[in-house]
Amino acid sequence: MSGTSDKSRGVAFVLAALLGWAGAHRFYVGKVGTGLLMLFTLGGLGVWYLYDVIVIASGGFRDADHRRLIHWDPDAGGQSAEITHEVLDELDALRREVGELAERVDFTERLLLQSNPVEQRDR
């Protein structure tokens, strides 16, 4: 089987970060055998535990049915996130404000350089 898992990547990450040495994240995704192995080896003496945390964070971790854990939000349920017009309008407004701020900083820098010509000559 392939595709996207219905399990949450966020939940798996938190379980791995807090209880990864016990294999809690592997129990969560249905990998009971390797979960028990992690429990008895204390997360592969920390190496396997660290590896799993990195793999989950990077999006490469798979559940027992070999489906990748993609969604961070447990309520996402396979829904794709759409960018609404409100978000695009806010992003456009933010771009304008950053542009104006950059112009003000540039203007202020030019004023400061012009107001101190005597100090610059003395150096």
Does residue 4 sit in the same domain as residue 24? yes
Does residue 53 sit in the same domain as residue 4? yes
Is the Cα torsion angle 95, 93, 86, 7 positive or negative in sign?
A: positive
pLDDT for 114 equals 87
Does residue 52 sit in the same domain as residue 112? no
pLDDT for 97 equals 92
Does residue 37 sit in the same domain as residue 96? no
Question: Could you give the angle at the alpha carbon of 22 between the alpha carbons of 20 and 25, nearest 5°?
Answer: 50
Does residue 94 sit in the same domain as residue 68? no
Does residue 90 sit in the same domain as residue 60? no
Does residue 32 sit in the same domain as residue 65? yes
pLDDT for 91 equals 85
pLDDT for 119 equals 57
Q: Which residues contact 120 (CB under 8 A, 6 or more apart)?
A: 113
Q: How many domains does the chain have?
A: 2
Does residue 97 sit in the same domain as residue 115? yes
Whether 80 maps to a domain, the answer reads: no
pLDDT for 81 equals 54
pLDDT for 118 equals 59
What residues make up the domain containing 104? Answer: 85-122
Does residue 89 sit in the same domain as residue 69? no
Does residue 28 sit in the same domain as residue 63? yes
Does residue 11 sit in the same domain as residue 71? yes
* Amino acid type, 70: I
* Per-position pLDDT tens, the chain of length 123: 457 888 888 899 999 899 888 989 999 999 999 889 989 998 888 889 898 889 898 888 888 888 888 888 766 554 455 667 888 888 888 899 989 989 999 999 998 888 766 555 555
